[in-house]
Chain A
Amino acid sequence: MRRIINYPPARGQKLILGLLPFLAILLIYLMASEARLAINPGDKLIPSFSSFTAAMERLMAQPDRSSGQYLFWFDTYLSLWRLCVGLGISALLGCVFGILIGFIPHLRAMFEPVLAALSLVPPLAVLPILFIIFGLGEVSKIVLIVFGIAPFLIRDVVLRVESLPREQIIKAQTLGGSTWQMMTHVVLPQVMPNLINSVRLSLGATWLFVIAAEAITAEGGLGYRIFLVRRYLAMDVILPYVAWITLLAFLMDYGLRRLNTFAFPWAALKES
């Protein structure tokens, strides 16, 4: 009898074990749904899968009566647009300012404290201010995301720049590199894989900000729809929407991971 830590699962076992919790959740849901619907066929809390397909069919394939939009795709487009623009701006700011602040000592002395303070301000607490300043349109939503994500990304890049071995920077200088050349050829490429990983980690927070902003005011969006239909206890819409958001987040995470291994093959070598 070996210790339990010395029993690694085989490949097939691994797959089955990984799938098991998903199946369990599904099974529990189905059983609960069955039980409730048996007592009250009009129950809305745990709808059956057939009502999911019906609701989704309505939102995906039939244009909305008032706006003429295919609501599901319209919501997805709006939310993804906000998420990508907000995250894109944040990543750009993180890259540019992170490298400048991390690499140039005077800028670091000047901006590091203020960044530390800014990143501790709860973004949702300033959301009303953003609504007051930027109105209820798209700008305030994008600003919310940038305000929530960019300081984190900037600080992350600053830390990464600081952790570059001092020897490398000295060596770059003995090769005649200027500050600009070192930033573009030594610092930027080595920061990028880490930045992409940080963007992956902040995907969850970004979705949070998107949905929070949409919940308060929007003309559409996945979060907006969820909070709208909440009034009608429309679990047949909310649950598929939540699943869809999760799937989108997973796909983005996966895409960024693939981008990292494709664009920066050397970064994977480092870990091994």
Chain B
Amino acid sequence: MTAIKIDKVWKEYGDTIVLENVSLDLPDHEFLVIIGPSGVGKTTLLRLLLSQETPTRGEILIDGKPIASEPTADRGVVFQRYSVFPHKTVLGNVMLGPQWAQAPLLGRFFGKKHRELKERAMALLQRVGLGAAADKYPQQLSGGMQQRLAIAQALIMKPKVLLLDEPFGALDPGTRKAMHVLVRELWEEHAMTIVMVTHDLAEAFALGTRVIAVDRPRRDPQAPERYGATITSNFEAKCRVVRESERFEAARAKARQDHGQSGASPPSAAMIHPFPLKAGAA
């Protein structure tokens, strides 16, 4: 469960107001896409969620608790560029986080723990389609592969929220399509919350379950810095009820198929209600 609450957040730099009075409630397992014209504060909002910057007023809560005042492991991130470490191999990049978490001094595992982590990392790399490139350095990979690596590197930490800052902005259209599919699938598999910033409207509606537009509702031509941007529209792109019934139908179809193949085995409770619809989810 990960619910994000942005509570009347303001961000100011001196006299310049970037964001004013931004409020948002995001329930668990949403794919939030932030769109808006460039330079309006989309990325600032993402940075606030990441704690790369702190709000001037208001606060951000995850599961009811204020977020830490610095980036922490509960929020993973993928930037447009420079998200991976060029001096580590693909496998080394993915194995980094868990080793840091449990070996404070050396930041390195040995023996059995190392083997186990390596298996886990390799499985994840296979999943994102980088199994064959495990021993290469990031510079030997294409842009799309580097972003896959950055996603795998973040996912191994099992973050509550994955933040994506124009992650596919530098990719060619074909690669971008493939990445969309991958991210959608990973989002389903890991049942996590994703917040993505993009300026591509088609991408926003292809991926997001909720799309918010950030823009300045008021403008003062004499003092453009006096008014900040806020959420000007908040659109539910894919209804939660529809999503959940789709998932339910898919699980039921799979259960029926499994049952049909194995014939004699009795139906279990999980086959009948794999994803019980949550009351009150909308």
Q: Find out whether the CB atom of B81 lies under 8 angstroms from the CB atom of A173.
A: no
B63 within 8 A of A: no
Q: Find out whether the CB atom of B137 lies under 8 angstroms from the CB atom of A265.
A: yes
Give chain B residues whose Cβ lies under 8 Å from the Cβ of A270. 86, 139
A178 to B71, CA, bound (A): 11
A269 to B79, CA, bound (A): 21
B110 within 8 A of A: no
Interface bin, chain B: 20 to 34
A73 within 8 A of B: no
Majority secondary structure, B binding face? loop
Stretch at the interface among A148-156, A183-191, A202-210, A248-256: A183-191
Of the candidates A176, A265, A270, the one having the most CB atoms from chain B within 10 angstroms of its own CB is A176
A264 to B137, CA, bound (A): 11
A2 within 8 A of B: no
B159 within 8 A of A: yes
Give chain A residues whose Cβ lies under 8 Å from the Cβ of B239. none
A266 within 8 A of B: yes
Q: Find out whether the CB atom of A185 lies under 8 angstroms from the CB atom of B107.
A: yes
Of the candidates B70, B100, B140, B153, the one having the most CB atoms from chain A within 10 angstroms of its own CB is B100
Q: Find out whether the CB atom of B139 lies under 8 angstroms from the CB atom of A178.
A: no
> Contact string, B239-253, partner A, CB cutoff 8 A, digits 1/0?
000000000000000
Given contacts A175-B100, A176-B97, contact A167 B72 (CB under 8 A): no
Given contacts A173-B72, A181-B100, A185-B96, contact A264 B87 (CB under 8 A): yes
A177 within 8 A of B: yes
From the candidates A170, A175, A189, A269, name the one contacting B137 in the complex (CB within 8 A). Answer: A269
B228 within 8 A of A: no
Closest to A271 in B: B139
Q: Find out whether the CB atom of B97 lies under 8 angstroms from the CB atom of A269.
A: no
Q: Find out whether the CB atom of B107 lies under 8 angstroms from the CB atom of A266.
A: no
A190 to B137, CA, bound (A): 13
Listed from nearest, the 4 A-B pairs whose CB atoms lie closest are A165-B82, A175-B97, A176-B73, A173-B71
Q: Find out whether the CB atom of B50 lies under 8 angstroms from the CB atom of A174.
A: yes
Q: Find out whether the CB atom of A167 lies under 8 angstroms from the CB atom of B86.
A: no
Task: List chain B positions with a Cβ less than 8 A from chain A.
Answer: 50, 52, 70-73, 75-77, 79, 81-87, 96-97, 100-101, 104-105, 107, 137, 139-140, 150, 153-154, 157, 159
A267 to B104, CA, bound (A): 27
Q: Find out whether the CB atom of B87 lies under 8 angstroms from the CB atom of A175.
A: no
From the candidates B77, B79, B107, B154, name the one contacting A181 in the complex (CB within 8 A). Answer: B107
A65 within 8 A of B: no
Give chain A residues whose Cβ lies under 8 Å from the Cβ of B154. 171, 174-175
Of the candidates A166, A171, A184, A269, the one having the most CB atoms from chain B within 10 angstroms of its own CB is A171
Interface bin, chain A: 20 to 34
A168 within 8 A of B: yes
Q: Find out whether the CB atom of B101 lies under 8 angstroms from the CB atom of A176.
A: yes
Give chain B residues whose Cβ lies under 8 Å from the Cβ of A265. 137
Give chain B residues whose Cβ lies under 8 Å from the Cβ of A264. 87
A269 to B81, CA, bound (A): 17
Given contacts A173-B71, A174-B71, A174-B76, contact A186 B85 (CB under 8 A): yes
Given contacts A175-B96, A269-B137, contact A168 B82 (CB under 8 A): yes
Closest to A189 in B: B87
Closest to A265 in B: B137
Q: How far is the CB of B240 from chain A (nearest CB, A)?
A: 27
A178 to B77, CA, bound (A): 17
Q: Find out whether the CB atom of A175 lies under 8 angstroms from the CB atom of B82.
A: no
A171 to B70, CA, bound (A): 12
5 A-B pairs besides A167-B83, A168-B85, A177-B100 with CB distance below 8 A are A176-B73, A176-B101, A190-B86, A264-B87, A266-B137
Q: Find out whether the CB atom of A176 lies under 8 angstroms from the CB atom of B50.
A: no
Q: Find out whether the CB atom of A174 lies under 8 angstroms from the CB atom of B72.
A: yes
- The contact sample of 25 A-B pairs, CB cut-off 8 A, is A165-B82, A167-B79, A168-B82, A168-B83, A170-B50, A170-B52, A171-B83, A173-B70, A174-B71, A174-B72, A174-B73, A174-B75, A174-B76, A174-B154, A175-B76, A175-B96, A176-B72, A176-B97, A176-B101, A180-B105, A181-B107, A185-B107, A186-B85, A265-B137, A270-B139
